[in-house]
Amino acid sequence: MELIPAAVEAFSEKYTSPESGLMYKLNRETHLKFELPHMLSGQVQGEFLRIVSHMIRPRRVLELGTYTGYSAICLAAGLTTDGILHTIDVNEELETLCHQYFEASGNADKIKMHIGKAADIIAQLDEVFDLVFIDADKAGYVHYYDQVWDKLRPGGFILADNVLYHGQVLAPESEQGSQAKAMVRFCEKVLADDRAEQVLLTIRDGVLMIRKK
For residue 114, give its domain range. 6-212
Residue 1 has pLDDT above 80, yes or no: no
Please tell me the distance from the alpha carbon of residue 210 to that of residue 213, in angstroms, as a whole number.
9
Domain holding 165: CATH number? 3.40.50.150
Does residue 203 lie in a domain region? yes
**Cβ neighbours of residue 188 closer than 8 Å, sequence gap 6 or more:** none
Does residue 75 lie in a domain region? yes
> What share of the chain in percent tops pLDDT 70?
100
pTM value? Answer: 0.95
Residue 10 has pLDDT above 90, yes or no: yes
Does residue 1 lie in a domain region? no
pLDDT one-digit tens code per residue, 156-180: 999 999 999 999 999 999 999 999 9
Closest CA to 65 of 141, 137, 142: 137
Query: How many independent structural domains does the chain possess?
Result: 1
